[in-house]
Amino acid sequence: MSLPPVMLHLEVTRPPRRSVRLWLPLFLLWPLALMLGVLALPVAAVVDLVRLLCGRRDHHYAMLLVRLSALCCETRGLVIQIDKRNETVNLTVH
């Protein structure tokens, strides 16, 4: 698993309007995400355990949280560019 995304660059150009360039510092969300994860993981583990004891083995919420966080981390390098005549939208995850 790699590091979570650090920055999100969003650029919207719609002439004759002024273009918008945003650098969103995603690293500021890391502590919040970590805190939420630390809180949610034990809850999910307990729910999984209770469901397992009840004979329901079809949901794995703890594993889902782990895999989703891994998915978020792997978004680094994602680039989406949309050009429509004069309008352009560029989104890059760094």
Partner 1 sequence: MSEDRNRILALLAAGKITTEEAERLLDALETGPAAQPSGGGITGDPAPLIAALPKYLYVQVDGSTGDNVNVKIPVALVRSGLKLTSLIPDQAMDQINRSMSEHGMSVDLANLKPEDIDELIESLREMEINVDGKNGDVVRIFCA
Point out which span in 24-32, 38-46, 47-55, 79-87 binds partner 1 (CB under 8 A): 79-87
91, two tokens: 């989104």
Q: Which of 78, 27, 22, 69 is nearest to 44 (CA)?
A: 69
Interface residue with partner 1, options 22, 29, 52, 80 (CB under 8 A): 80
Long-range contacts of 30-37 (CB under 8 A, 24+ apart): 30/4, 33/4, 33/69, 33/72, 37/65, 37/69
Point out which span in 18-26, 28-36, 45-53, 80-88 binds partner 1 (CB under 8 A): 80-88
Q: Restricting to residues 31-60, which ones interact with partner 1 according to CB under 8 A?
A: 58-60
For partner 1, what does the binding mask look like between residues 2 and 21, x meaning CB under 8 A? x-------------------
Contact flag: residue 78 with partner 1 (CB under 8 A): yes
Contact flag: residue 64 with partner 1 (CB under 8 A): yes
Contact flag: residue 83 with partner 1 (CB under 8 A): yes
Long-range contacts of 21-29 (CB under 8 A, 24+ apart): 26/93
